């Protein structure tokens, strides 16, 4: 398995939107995206722009309380669904088994996972990983993103 690594500077939220749009055009079957980064680093914001780029019209809220929100994609050649998880409130990774986590991972679905470390041991390996960070605290709109594409 090969990995391609890329770093980008996202100077403001518009740059994050453009980055999400470019990734939305490259999604593969069964894409599993781990979104890493501290509170407020921009994981949900990135997810919202990605889903909007995939023509999701409904309001996209953080799935912190329900753990997962699922979106149907109507005009995508590769994926019929996108599932957005936020595992921040998961007390024990084993709870994912009771939630029927396996059912979400299908070739016609893409999955976004915030706080993947909270599900350690109960999640499939990512096909794409992002690390978002606030690189310069005097520039509150700026983020650094490290991207890793894993290829079979």
Ligand X SMILES: Nc1ncnc2c1ncn2[C@@H]1O[C@H](COP(=O)(O)OP(=O)(O)OP(=O)(O)O)[C@@H](O)[C@H]1O
Give whichever of 31 and 86 is closer to ligand X, judged by the CB atom: 86
- C-alpha closest to that of 127 among 109, 145, 144: 109
The residue range among 39-47, 52-60, 68-76, 99-107 that interacts with ligand X, by the rule CB under 6 A, is: 39-47
What does the per-residue mask of binding to ligand X show for 91-130, with x meaning CB under 6 A? -----------------------x----------------
Least distance from C-beta 56 to ligand X, angstroms? 16
Q: Does 43 bind ligand X (CB under 6 A)?
A: yes
d(CA 110, CA 122): 17
- Residue 69 engages Mg ion in binding (rule: CB under 5 A): no
Residue by residue, DSSP assigns 71-109 as: EE-SS-SS-SEEEEEE-TT-S-TTHHHHTTGGGG--TTE
Reference 42, options 94, 99, 112, 92; nearest CA is: 112
Q: Is 83 in the site for ligand X (CB under 6 A)?
A: no
Task: Give the separation between CA 68 and CA 53, rounded to whole angstroms.
Answer: 19
In the complex, the residues that contact ligand X under the rule CB under 6 A are 10, 12-13, 15-16, 37, 39-45, 62, 86, 114, 141, 143
């Amino acid at each position: 398995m090969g990995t391609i690594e890329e770093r980008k500077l996202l100077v403001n939220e518009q740059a994050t939107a453009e980055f999400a749009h470019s990734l939305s055009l490259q999604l593969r079957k069964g894409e599993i995206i781990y979104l890493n980064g501290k509170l407020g680093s921009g994981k949900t914001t990135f997810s919202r722009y990605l889903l909007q780029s995939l023509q999701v019209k409904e309001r996209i809220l953080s799935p912190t309380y329900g753990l997962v929100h699922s979106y149907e994609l109507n005009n995508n050649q590769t994926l019929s669904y996108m599932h957005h998880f936020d595992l921040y409130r998961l007390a024990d990774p084993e709870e994912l088994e009771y939630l029927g986590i396996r059912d979400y991972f299908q070739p016609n679905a893409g999955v976004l996972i915030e706080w993947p470390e909270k599900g350690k041991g109960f999640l499939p390996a990512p096909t794409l990983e992002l690390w978002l960070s606030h690189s310069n605290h005097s520039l509150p709109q700026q983020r650094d993103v490290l991207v890793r594409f894993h290829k079979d």
